[in-house]
Amino acid sequence: MNITARLSALSLLIFGVSGCGMSEQDATAMAATYRVDERAPIKSAGSIIISAPPRTVWKYITDINSWPSWRPEVSASHLDGSPAAGTSFTWTVDGTDIKSQIAGVDVQRRIAWTGYTMGLTAIHLWMVQPLGPDKTLVRTTESMTGFPSSLLYSSADLQSTNAKWLSDLKRISEKDDTINDKRK
């Protein structure tokens, strides 16, 4: 088999195994409408009820610079401004550097961002719903496309990662000093 045929076969394998991927522009446009890529080979969704006010939960989700203080897998994070649509941030999770951009913000209700690393494109949505003055439902949904996403990472892996995000968010939000001061 000649080199052209081999490259063609490899291209078919790559696209067949991992999906076509998505451009940064398309991912940002989709995230801005608070949607993930339903055709992505890797997807995750989860939710948790947190015994804390929505404003407290929102604070921890959107204070990106503080993620390393409560999310052990995040070793660095830097937001280049305020958490608003169009704002970029970088972060390192499990040793992987990720370049992200906030695509949409509906304050204290939902936030969407995209993430790019090593040819992978992710869309991550967080939704915050009050269930009472000191109780909040948090839902998260994420999709991931691009080579070699499905070769190195699975929906089960992403589900596990996002479940950990939710449990860490619950832990830090329920431990928040402002809540403890209010309850005393």
pLDDT of residue 179: 56
pTM metric for this prediction: 0.84
Q: How far apart are CA 129 and CA 110, in angstroms?
A: 9
Summarize pLDDT for 96-149 with one digit per residue, the tens. Answer: 999 999 999 999 999 999 999 888 899 999 999 999 999 999 999 999 998 766
Q: How far apart are CA 53 and CA 134, in angstroms?
A: 4
Rama region for 108: left / alpha / beta (φ>0; ψ in -120 to 50; rest): left
The full set of domains in the chain, from first to last, is 19-183 (3.30.530.20)
